[in-house]
Structures are given as structure tokens and as C-alpha cells.
Amino acid sequence: EAQVTQNPRYLITVTGKKLTVTCSQNMNHEYMSWYRQDPGLGLRQIYYSMNVEVTDKGDVPEGYKVSRKEKRNFPLILESPSPNQTSLYFCASSRGLAVVNEQFFGPGTRLTVL
Amino acid sequence: AQKITQTQPGMFVQEKEAVTLDCTYDTSDPSYGLFWYKQPSSGEMIFLIYQGSYDQQNATEGRYSLNFQKARKSANLVISASQLGDSAMYFCAMRESHYNQGGKLIFGQGTELSVKP
């Protein structure tokens, strides 16, 4: 089954404790992206990757890191989480950059930083 | 300026009736794609329908259709024969072709649809 998986689905952590949210897709997609969803602000892109070893900042990259060492995986790293990073996070992938390419979303990771 | 505007924060519809969710967009890019996603209370984002800026026909997918009026920059979602399972948040989103947009989806604020039995 074609899918994007994320782990963990739920996480409660404390300020400053480094964490990684994993994302994996099995569709051989070149393009992967991370979004965060906040009430009243909608979904905003954090980082994206157009292929292995090619990553770039989205609209809200501060406090986050990413890497793309393999095509299928695109982990999101929070080196020193803060309460303002409490949010619902989505990983998404698509075949490429073309506008016609639908983005497939993972199930979401609900993160709470205390 | 908002690139995607959904003016209906919440809507109610009677089961089996049709409902239209509004979406207007703003772009100077001649090539763009418009998407609708459904987000049920469980949180996942489910793709519903796509319309390309050069498509001549309105997109349809089962009970979903997209009323695309390019001159008005609107892309309204029509759900026919509403079902209780259609109760969810609905997001309109746009993807522009400019390389410097990074392929991101630009989302509206969403419309919460409630289907009444």
C-alpha cells in the first residue's frame, strides 16, 4: 500500500530535550516536505527536499533541522524544542515539483513541549 | 496578502443534500494547481480533488466536484448527497510552479463542515 508513515504519532517532551520525528514514504517520490498545523494559522511549510541531499527552508524553519540521506526518509529534528513548537506536524511527499503532483500526507505527529 | 481565502469558518448541511465550500485564490503564476483536502477529527489529511490552471473542464471525483472559475479566481468544492462521514474540516490549497516557491502547498484557513442527520 502506498503510504507516508510518521513516528511517533504522539509525543510529550520537555523544553530542550532533542527529538527526531521520522518520516518514510514507499512511493519512490523525489519531493518531501514538512508542515506544521496551528489553530488560526493553518498549515505552513517548515522544510522541503527535492531529492537526496537537497533540502531547503520553507516558511517557518527556525528551530528545526532536516536531512535527506535516502530517498525514502526525511526526518525532522528539533535540537532544543521550545513550547512554541507544540503543534501538529505533517510529513508529505509527491512525485516532483510539478503543480499537478498531489502531495500525500502522513498521519501526523502531535507534539507537546512542556 | 492571503493567497488562499476560505470565507466560511463553519457550515451545516442536511444529510443527502449538496453543499458548496468556497475558496478564492490569488496568484500571478500562470501555471498552478488547486487541491482540496479533508481533515476528519482523527487528524489525517485526505486528498479529495485536483484542478490544474490549464484544465478546461471542471474536475470531478465521485461525489466531489470542483467549480473552477478562473477569471474570478475561485475554486469551490461541491459535495453532492452529503453523508454523516463528510463531517470534517476542509482545506483548499494551491501549488504554484515558480521554482522559488519550493513546491509548497499554500493552505486556506479551512471550513468546518457538519452534516446533520
Examine the pLDDT at A97 and tell me if it is beyond 80: no
Mean pLDDT of A32-49: 93
Burial of A20 from C-beta contacts in 10 A (0-12 / 13-18 / 19+): middle
pLDDT band for B73, please (50, 70, 90 cuts).
Answer: very high
Q: Determine whether the interchain pair A99/B32 forms a contact, defined as Cβ–Cβ distance below 8 Å.
A: yes
Of the candidates A96, A109, A103, A112, which has an alpha carbon nearest to the alpha carbon of residue A30?
Answer: A96
pLDDT at A96: 81
Where do the H-state alpha helices sit in chain A?
none
Closest Cα in chain A, distance from residue B25 (Å):
15
Instruction: Return mean pLDDT, chain B.
Output: 93
| Number of residues in chain A | 114
Chain A contact for B9 (CB, 8 A cutoff): no
Interface test with A, best of B25, B39, B45, B50 (most A CBs within 10 A): B45
Examine the pLDDT at A104 and tell me if it is beyond 80: yes
- The pLDDT > 70 percentage for chain A reads 100
Mean pLDDT of A36-45: 90
